[in-house]
Amino acid sequence: MGVFARYGFRKTSMDEVARAAGVSRQGLYLQFADKEALFRKAVAFKLSRQLRSAKLALANGHEGLESRLVAACDEWAGRYVGFIGADAADLMCASTSLAGATLSDYETRFETMIAAAIAESALADFCVASGCPPADVARVLHATARGLKHTCQSREEFVRRMTVAARMFCAPLTRHVSHQES
């Protein structure tokens, strides 16, 4: 994926991928029929790892909901801020056309995990009462992360802005805890 991220789908050659992987071009072709098949497999592999990392971030019982949401979004999208090379503008199109179903499946799984974390939190009742079901909130947080991934200049900026989004959502939890302590 690093080679695709640097050069884009069209400009990446199987020779470059083989060199980066430390295998021969022929060895690469024994595993993958063509560049499209290799790209699909690489996308699925990366998405699987991202989802696993996001799941671990959400499962961190030592952190509050806000921190876990930010960490999960950072694992899902923030890690790619500033990573894509100038020649890789075609990656989104290639991802959609070649691995669209896989990408959509993993995005749905990510949103489902976010929704479950929200539904299991102290904010669940507030979400329902305010007409914002956890699944809708998860979609909005995911859309925010996607947008920030493309507009932030650094991963630190991504985390800072994602924290604002998560904090806005989690504000009722902070008020709820403050009222209980009073």
DSSP state of 120: T
Indicate if the pLDDT at residue 180 is higher than 60.
no
Q: Across 108-154, where does the E strand assignment appear?
A: none
pLDDT of residue 84: 67
pLDDT of residue 68: 97
| 102-146 pLDDT tens trace | 889 999 999 999 999 999 998 898 888 889 999 999 999 999 999
| 135-170 pLDDT tens trace | 999 999 999 999 998 889 999 999 999 999 999 988
Measured N-to-C along each axis, helices 91-119 and 65-76 cross at an angle, to the nearest 10 degrees, of 160
Spatial contact of 115 and 137, defined as CB atoms under 8 Å apart: yes
At residue 67, what are phi and psi to the nearest 5 degrees?
A: -65, -40
DSSP state of 121: S
Structure tokens at 26: 């022929």
Spatial contact of 38 and 32, defined as CB atoms under 8 Å apart: yes
Residue-averaged pLDDT of the chain:
88
| 25-47 pLDDT tens trace | 999 999 999 999 998 898 899 99
